[in-house]
Amino acid sequence: MNPTLQTPEEKSLIQTKLDELMASCTKSSQEESDFIRKAFDLANDAHMGVRRKAGEPYIFHPLAVALIVSKEMGLGYKSVSAALLHDVVEDADYTVDDIRFRFGDKIASMVEGLTKIDGVFDKSQSKQAENFKKILLTLTDDVRVILVKLADRLHNMRTLDAMPPHKQFQIASETLYLFAPLAYRMGFYAIKSEMEDLSMKYYNPEAYKEIKSKIEKKESENKQFVNDFEHPIVKKLREAGIEFEISSRYKSVYSAWRKMENKHIPFEEIYDLFAVRIVFDPKRGIPERTQCWSIYSLITEIYRSKTDRIRDWVGTPKVNGYEALHCTLMAAGGAWVEVQIRTYRMEEIAEHGIAAHWKYKETAVEQEGELDKWLREVKENMSNPNVNAMEFLDNFKFNFLAPNIYVFTPKGDQRTLPKGATVLDFAYDIHSEIGNRTAAAKVNYVLRPLNYPLQSGDQVEIITVENQKPQREWLGYVKTPKAKSLIRSVLRSEVKEHGKRGRKIIEDKLKELGIQPSARTYRKLINAYAQTTKEELFCNVGAGLLALDDFDKVIRENTPQKLVQYWSMQLGLGARNNNVKNMRRELSKKQGSQKIDRKTPYLIKETAQDEEPSFIIADCCKPIPGDEIIGFTDEEKTTVTVHKKKCPEASRLAAKYGDRIINTQWATHKVLSFLVILEIRGIDRMGILRELTDIITGQLNVNIRKLNIESHDGIFEGSMELYVHDVEDLNILIDRVKAVKGMDFVRRVEV
């Protein structure tokens, strides 16, 4: 049989999946069901004979995406149809116009939004960033495109085993960088958690396996504990006549790992490893928030509440629309347990995110919710799609996907800003003119500078000065795209004025010398005064930043040959290079002659041949031999920068520059030493410092670069910077240090 054709077994499985899809679309009319079947027929025909990396017929993928859209997101027939058709234009001989003719403008628009960029784009930019930018811009038109894309990415993550390692890392990094936060912001917590876990499986596999195993073991051991904890709650709520369901869930692997990393604690010290959820049917005529607090009152008659851990997301819903009352209760034996209280309406919004949010908006008159505000702000701030794709992506992630903080004006008005926002961001969030005239601010009645980072709960009073105006360095003070855009707008107008003034100054000087302005004249001035463009020359002269010393001499002389001769001699270039730009181009060609092959794993050797590409150890994570690593080439592909696979910067780079990923492996290193940092803590006693140094330098022959120890209240803590050959040596050292009497904690710092 032709391997490209579908086997009888595959045809049967495809039909089963289609039947499952149709059964999930319970609210579709007959006409809408026929519409979905029509979309399936076209997709099946378009992908006929094509197989995925794992070997199954390609139609399995759009069917799976459509099922996620229907069953896990709760979207309607148009979204399901777009999911079935999402790869047709990109991978088959169909155009957007073909889709429009068969399915109408809306489906065609959605499919076009889901189709990757092809053809001409800015080669200086990452194609990944350009594609992300195109997808994100659909938020201003039809948010369902983003939701189908999330479903597409989720299924790709579920089937990532079939991809080569460098693609696994790239796709996992993209998912963690952009798609998981986007799923969370859209209200799909379960999808966000699964994306995070699947990403971690590929970029930090050892930690993933270890934590997953521990969670499964805990879940098995804790069944009786959970039953004992829930039993009196069930009895109490039934006595109160409340209709409810109670269940428990454990933290995701990624969530547990993040807590361990952020709190610097082992797995065994995570006290909120699982949560109990109470979902109830509210009584009519009583506010849902009141009923949530009533249930809280009932269960705290049984268990003591940790009051500083109460989170009232009913009174103040999260930006993604999430509502619930969270509390932490002490169970028998002293263990803390998180309890979540919510109505069935809140539960559906938590499970189906934005789709459920809109469903309930259609049946009730209500004020604009946090999710509506977020979408409105996204649309308002994405009105200029012509910005650099990389900048666009970073701005979107920071401004719209980062956690929020809530700060207040002196009158008590609440403003929502992304975490990391500064005093100056706050000023521009109030009004552009207030931002432009900001001189300082008082945060909680204390005078603070413009770049002071704000925290949730801060009260901010902006101090303005009439003659103040934005400075170029302000761009480094702000984090939000809104503030940056407003500052740049003012600076651009000033640059324009500086440019006009500078052009006039130069033209007047040329006129005095009796010389007509020409391209050759300006090139001479640009080279002589180390400028890159004519506009930069005019602007710096007009702003008073560039003095035109020896102007007469520069104009009357030929191109500065001494400079050319110097660079030619340094670079070994020919005399034909008459400016620095050409020299740089030639140097790049010379250096780029040795390229890196992405198909063969790059081996990091202790000593490399002269003609081989060099490697650089990344400062952000400082990997050592034995660490799981990934490499990234520079633009010329002559140097490989080596990161730990779990390094956040590596994840960010992979999400943006997937074409620069290099599978990288350590060779044996026993000559070179690598810097590591250890955190230590223990019970203070006489002689412990001498004992530590004897073990490290005397017994293990490890060089200590720096040792910092502080003692207080009978406890010592500090850090050590050491040089080791590899992870094996480091693990031996850590085990020996842990064995020292009184030692409580030894951990490698993941810088």
3-state SS, 118-179, equals: CCCCCCCCCHHHHHHHHHHHHHHCCCHHHHHHHHHHHHHHHCHHHCCHHHHHHHHHHHHHHH
Q: Which residue has the tokens 């197989």?
A: 51
- List the single range of 171-175, 536-540, 590-594 with lowest mean pLDDT: 590-594
Class of residue 569 by CB neighbours under 10 A (exposed 0-12, middle 13-18, buried 19+): exposed
Q: Which two tokens stand for residue 668?
A: 């044996």
- Enumerate the domain spans of the chain: 8-201, 208-362, 402-473, 489-557, 602-666, 674-748
Distance, CA of 621 to CA of 617 (rounded, Å): 8
Residue 214: band (very low, low, confident or very high) from pLDDT cuts 50, 70, 90: very high
Question: Pseudo-torsion of CA 343, 346, 351, 357, nearest 10°?
Answer: 150
- List the single range of 173-182, 545-554, 722-731 with lowest mean pLDDT: 545-554
| Cα Rg, the chain, nearest whole Å | 31
Residue 233 has pLDDT above 60, yes or no: yes
| pLDDT score of 383 | 55
The answer to whether residues 57 and 6 touch, using CB atoms and an 8 Å cutoff, is yes
Average pLDDT, the chain: 82
Residue 279: band (very low, low, confident or very high) from pLDDT cuts 50, 70, 90: very high
Residue 667 has pLDDT above 90, yes or no: no
Average pLDDT over residues 710-719: 86
| pLDDT score of 592 | 42
| pLDDT score of 384 | 55
| pLDDT score of 563 | 40
Residue 123: band (very low, low, confident or very high) from pLDDT cuts 50, 70, 90: very low
Share of the chain above pLDDT 90, in %: 28
Catalytic residue annotation: 90-91
**Sequence-separated (6 or more) residues with CB below 8 Å from residue 300:** 327, 329
Residue 146 has pLDDT above 90, yes or no: no
Average pLDDT over residues 385-412: 73
CATH class of 208-362: alpha beta
| 674-748 CATH pick, 3.30.70.260, 2.120.10.30, 3.40.80.10, 3.20.20.150 | 3.30.70.260
What are the backbone angles phi and psi of residue 245, rounded to the nearest 5°? -130, 145
CA distances from 390 to 125, 265, 383, 652 (A): 7, 35, 16, 11
Average pLDDT over residues 190-204: 92
Whole-prediction pTM = 0.72
The answer to whether residues 249 and 274 touch, using CB atoms and an 8 Å cutoff, is yes
Q: Regarding predicted confidence, which is higher, 321 or 731?
A: 731
Residue 581 has pLDDT above 60, yes or no: no
Amino acid at 341: I
Q: Which residue has the tokens 């604690």?
A: 265
| pLDDT score of 344 | 93
Distance, CA of 409 to CA of 419 (rounded, Å): 17
User: Which tens digits make up the pLDDT trace of 516-533?
Assistant: 888 778 877 887 777 777
Q: Which two tokens stand for residue 341?
A: 């209280």
Average pLDDT over residues 336-344: 94
Average pLDDT over residues 616-627: 86
Identify which of 91-95, 233-237, 375-379, 716-720 has the greatest average pLDDT: 233-237
CATH class of 8-201: mainly alpha
| pLDDT score of 371 | 63
Q: Which two tokens stand for residue 520?
A: 């050759």
Residue 677 has pLDDT above 50, yes or no: yes
Q: Regarding predicted confidence, which is higher, 54 or 244?
A: 244
Average pLDDT over residues 675-704: 87
Q: Which residue has the tokens 């590591």?
A: 676
Residue 564: band (very low, low, confident or very high) from pLDDT cuts 50, 70, 90: very low
Q: How far apart are the first and last CA of the chain?
A: 55
CATH class of 402-473: alpha beta
Distance, CA of 477 to CA of 424 (rounded, Å): 7
| pLDDT score of 562 | 40
